[in-house]
Amino acid sequence: MTEGVRTSLSNSHVPAAEATPLIVLERLQDGAFAEVEAVLDGDAESLILYRDGDHVRAWLNICPHAGRRLDWAPGQFLKSKDGLLVCAAHGASFELVRGDCVAGPCRGESLRAVEVSVRDGAVWLGM
Ligand code: FES
């Protein structure tokens, strides 16, 4: 489903049309990843969620290198000892603030951020 990089998205930030609960916060441990499905602009998308303390960041689960998912199995993401998200396909490494690729075949490119927020003990699409 997520083969190929979407060309309809013109920048690195995906607008979210509606607030939708994605996951209960207690299911996402600090420093861990989760994969969830969400509808963005009418299309079902796989998202990477990453919890950093009280904050959760989200990106499309599409690697900028070759458009593959980053998880090696659904919801199973690699994290290096340096705290980078590593794409399971060819090893691109992404820092976890902006989603920038800092090593590997797509160095200098970025994951596409998705706007999420934390409230009422859950992670929601949008603000
Ligand atoms: S598809 Fe992610 S590194 Fe190649």
Atom 3 of ligand 1, nearest CA residue = 90
pTM, rounded to two decimals = 0.85
Cα 120 to ligand 1 centre (Å) = 35
Per-residue confidence at 127, pLDDT binned at 50, 70, 90? confident
pLDDT number for residue 21: 84
Counting ligand 1 atoms within 8 A of each CB, the residue from 60, 85, 87, 107 with the most, and so the one to mutate, is 87
Q: Check residue 120 and give left, alpha or beta (phi > 0: left; psi -120 to 50: alpha).
A: left
Closest atom of ligand 1 relative to the 90 alpha carbon: 3
pLDDT number for residue 11: 40
Atom 4 of ligand 1, nearest CA residue = 90
Number of DSSP helices (H) and strands (E) in the chain, helices first: 0, 12
Per-residue pLDDT tens digits for 82-111 = 999 999 999 999 999 999 999 999 999 999
Sheet holding 85-86, edge to edge: 78-79, 85-86, 93-94, 101-103
pLDDT number for residue 10: 36
Average pLDDT rounded to a whole number, residues 117-123: 95
pLDDT number for residue 13: 53
Cα 37 to ligand 1 centre (Å) = 20
Q: Is the domain 28-125 a CATH 3.40.50.920 member?
A: no
Locate the domains of the chain by residue range.
Answer: 28-125
pLDDT number for residue 20: 61
Per-residue pLDDT tens digits for 18-67 = 556 899 999 999 999 999 999 999 999 999 999 999 999 999 999 999 99
Counting ligand 1 atoms within 8 A of each CB, the residue from 59, 84, 86, 106 with the most, and so the one to mutate, is 106
CB 92 within 8 A of CB 65: yes
Q: Which residue has the higher pLDDT, 8 or 79?
A: 79
